[in-house]
Amino acid sequence: MFSKILIANRGEIACRIIRTAQRLGIRTVAIYSDADRDALHVALADEAVHIGPAAASESYLSKQKVIAAAQHTQAEAIHPGYGFLSENADFAEAVEAAGLVFIGPSPASIRAMGLKDAAKALMERAGVPVVPGYHGDGQEPGFLVEQADGIGFPVLIKARAGGGGKGMRRVDRPEDFGASLEAAKREARSAFGDDAVLIEKYLIKPRHIEIQVFGDSHGNAVHLFERDCSLQRRHQKVIEEAPAPGMTEEMRSAMGEAAVRAARAIDYRGAGTVEFIADVSDGLSPDRFFFMEMNTRLQVEHPVTEAIAGVDLVEWQLRVASGEPLPKTQGELTINGWAFEARIYAEDPARGFLPATGTLSHLSFPEGDVRIDAGVREGDSITPHYDPLIAKLTVLAPDRPAALAKLTHGLEQTQVAGTTTNLDFLIRLSRQPDFATGHPDTGLIDRNVEALTATQQPGDAALAIAAIVEAGGFAKTVGNDPWHSLGAWQLWGEASRPVTLHFAGGHKSCRVTAKGRIFFSVAFDDRSVLVRLFEDDEVDRRVEIDGRQFHVDIFETPLAVTLFFDGHTHHFHRLDPLDGAEEAASGGDRVVAPMPGLVKIVRVREGDTVAKGQALIIMEAMKMELTLSAARDGIVESLHVGEGDQTSESAVLLSLRPEDAA
């Protein structure tokens, strides 16, 4: 076994690897960029090495800097985690050339699966079923249109390199193919440096089921059962579970054997995932699943497999990389229970899942038998430089209904203030009827997106509590307790103050009247609410509103008030008159940057006439493309950015004027 390893990654996966390594008595070396100097993974590691600026291309993606850091600290091996350099065959080769061990598959195995078109051809030869489509070298747009026509719409355009939904577009009509191809190639070129694509038949009702495989250097290979990753948006997984609902032993055996054949075909060593797509138009069937790709690394969703199989896959990686055989044979592996994992992101589902930034002024996870994999702490910042994942929440229970109930409860007990999150979306998704009854498919979120992402409007209780907080006038700093500071303005008897609350999708005016030290009346236009504050300790706060009692937590920053109660999160913001985003949100004449990013494409010039909804500027931020469109008809009066410019959040990029303006 190794005595010291370097982890060539950041965030939650770096923290997760560190914890297993330290349990095994292995010293760990972290690497960090300027933006991560005070990050959690740096604090957890035994030592850490600075490797460059915030930009990943100059730090975490620099092969030379990573290897130099390992050599300088006398690490024996490098664990790549997932993302960044984890599936880079040249990096794995350079690690081995430097006399270090790459904790992962061989460079040859990575290359064999690195390009989806070549991988599919290899799998066909190995007897693994593949999705019908075009996987050749021809990339001329007209030729690809012909191939798509031959396959039959809808089709899926996929970058042959990389993954994570980058360079992927569904196309339903021939007339949309050209624009989708251009966008997919542009995104693939930016993400992977390779804009070649393949075309596949898009299955109308598919499920994404993947098999965890593991091989060693002694010729052994096993599978650790399946994960269902069908709940996706933009081809990014949202909630994963293991085992897959409705899976029969016959189909599990067929898929497991196909995955092991795939691994053996490339002499695979270490952890890998063979991803299949299953046509479930007539239910799961062992003759209707197809190979999509193989991820030659540890997957983000690996905790659900660890939960049901009772293993530590990172420990397996370390043991196999150090030359040991697999810890278990296929016959020794069994499924015990049901597991779910939900990915908690800093993003705004109501705005198309736009990534969010901010400082985590409050971060609290449920206690008890719930697994949390996080790469951030309270007080850390979510920056535009990297993926906005806050944490993964994983639960295990004896059966699916119990596990799903545990997942929902765990999400309801999770508290995040300081940034917008997808928590309410995840809670609604966990209760969605088709999913709850075990019938997920990859189109489920898209079909129900409006109901799943609708802005949570605050009810009377939330409005009343927020109004009392605002009326209290206490210092605008995190951690102040309104229970101890509301009394100052009540000393002169019954006092009253007007309050206007601002929240996503609207605002509400009211009047707060103190009826005594712990009683308040909150009057709206057509009703009033009586609120009593209980003088409990700082951990267990309660309010009584119109005869109903709630437990509540309140967190305040200079720009917002966040309430957690009754399983919901409510954000109330204070308006900044200089914030250009306010005008954009109300359909103004300015197009502003929703977050810091890079201007990729400007589609208009000054003086152009544009229509409402027309794409004006394409930005790149947090590993995704954002299309900014005209909020109304008009003429481009001024353009403030060009292609290649970096922008800050709420920067004005473009101004419009009405067509009939002088």
Q: What is the pLDDT averaged over residues 109-127? A: 87
Residue 586 has pLDDT above 60, yes or no: no
Q: What is the pLDDT averaged over residues 138-163? A: 90
Residue 164: pLDDT band with limits 50, 70, 90: low
CATH at 158: 3.30.1490.20
- The answer to whether the Cα torsion of 207, 242, 117, 621 is positive or negative is positive
Distance, CA of 576 to chain centre: 29
The verdict on residue 584 lying in a domain is no
Q: Could you give the residue ranges of the DSSP H alpha helices within 82-196?
A: 89-97, 107-114, 116-125, 141-151, 177-192
Q: Answer yes or no: are the C-beta atoms of 77 and 102 closer than 8 Å.
A: yes
Q: Which of 181, 201, 221 is the last residue of a domain?
A: 201
Q: According to the model, what pLDDT value does residue 551 have?
A: 87
Q: According to the model, what pLDDT value does residue 242 have?
A: 98
Looking at the fold, whether 197 and 174 belong to one and the same domain comes out as yes
Looking at the fold, whether 118 and 227 belong to one and the same domain comes out as yes
The verdict on residue 580 lying in a domain is no
Query: Whole-angstrom Cα distance, residue 337 to residue 28?
Result: 33
CATH at 390: 3.30.470.20
Q: According to the model, what pLDDT value does residue 494 have?
A: 61
Looking at the fold, whether 71 and 168 belong to one and the same domain comes out as no
Q: What is the pLDDT averaged over residues 366-381? A: 95
Which tokens go with 612? 């409402």
Predicted confidence (pLDDT) per residue in 488-538, tens digit: 444 445 678 888 998 887 889 999 988 877 788 999 988 999 998 886 555
Q: According to the model, what pLDDT value does residue 157 have?
A: 94
Q: According to the model, what pLDDT value does residue 540 have?
A: 59
Predicted confidence (pLDDT) per residue in 224-254, tens digit: 999 999 999 878 899 999 999 999 999 999 9
Q: Any catalytic annotation for residue 574?
A: no
Looking at the fold, whether 329 and 409 belong to one and the same domain comes out as no
Q: According to the model, what pLDDT value does residue 287 have?
A: 85
204 or 67, which is more confident: 67
The verdict on residue 221 lying in a domain is yes
Looking at the fold, whether 530 and 638 belong to one and the same domain comes out as no
Here the contacts of 64-68 (C-beta below 8 Å, separation 24 or greater) are: 65/31, 66/6, 66/8, 66/31, 66/91, 67/94, 67/95, 67/98, 67/100
Residue type, 269: R
* Share of residues in the chain with pLDDT > 90 (%): 61
Q: According to the model, what pLDDT value does residue 491 have?
A: 45
Residue 474: pLDDT band with limits 50, 70, 90: very low
Predicted confidence (pLDDT) per residue in 258-296, tens digit: 999 999 999 999 999 999 999 887 788 888 899 988 999
Q: What is the pLDDT averaged over residues 96-101? A: 98
Which tokens go with 295? 């991820």
The verdict on residue 583 lying in a domain is no
The count of domains in the chain is: 6
The strand pair at 101-102 and 77-79 is best described as parallel
Residue 347: its H or E element: strand 347-348
Query: Whole-angstrom Cα distance, residue 162 to residue 191?
Result: 8
Residue 220 has pLDDT above 70, yes or no: yes
CATH at 518: 3.30.700.30
631 or 315, which is more confident: 315
Q: What is the pLDDT averaged over residues 593-610? A: 88
The verdict on residue 347 lying in a domain is yes
Q: According to the model, what pLDDT value does residue 476 have?
A: 33
The verdict on residue 481 lying in a domain is yes
Q: Spell 166-203 as b/e; 16+ CB within 10 A means b.
A: bbbbebeeeeebeebbebbbbbbebbbebbbbbbbbbb
* Share of residues in the chain with pLDDT > 70 (%): 92
Looking at the fold, whether 265 and 151 belong to one and the same domain comes out as no
Q: What is the pLDDT averaged over residues 130-155? A: 91
Q: Which of 454, 488, 504 is the last residue of a domain?
A: 454
Torsion angles phi and psi, residue 39, rounded to 5: -70, 160
Q: Taking the complete model, does pTM exceed 0.85, yes or no?
A: no
Predicted confidence (pLDDT) per residue in 77-91, tens digit: 999 999 999 999 999
Looking at the fold, whether 429 and 470 belong to one and the same domain comes out as no
Q: According to the model, what pLDDT value does residue 575 have?
A: 64
CATH at 637: 2.40.50.100
Q: What is the pLDDT averaged over residues 388-394? A: 97
Looking at the fold, whether 350 and 431 belong to one and the same domain comes out as yes
Query: Whole-angstrom Cα distance, residue 390 to residue 416?
Result: 9
Q: Which of the following is catalytic: 27, 160, 297, 541?
A: 297
Q: Which of 286, 301, 335 is the last residue of a domain?
A: 335
Q: According to the model, what pLDDT value does residue 75 have?
A: 98
CATH at 70: 3.40.50.20
Residue 569: its H or E element: strand 568-573
Looking at the fold, whether 639 and 649 belong to one and the same domain comes out as yes
204 or 102, which is more confident: 102
* Residue 313 three-state SS: helix
End-to-end CA distance of the chain: 76
The verdict on residue 585 lying in a domain is no
Looking at the fold, whether 532 and 473 belong to one and the same domain comes out as yes
How high does pLDDT run on average in the chain? Answer: 89
Q: According to the model, what pLDDT value does residue 455 have?
A: 83
Q: What is the pLDDT averaged over residues 35-50? A: 97
Looking at the fold, whether 545 and 530 belong to one and the same domain comes out as yes
- Please give the residue range of the domain that contains residue 412: 337-454
Query: Whole-angstrom Cα distance, residue 351 to residue 311?
Result: 39
Residue 136: pLDDT band with limits 50, 70, 90: confident
Looking at the fold, whether 119 and 257 belong to one and the same domain comes out as yes
The verdict on residue 29 lying in a domain is yes
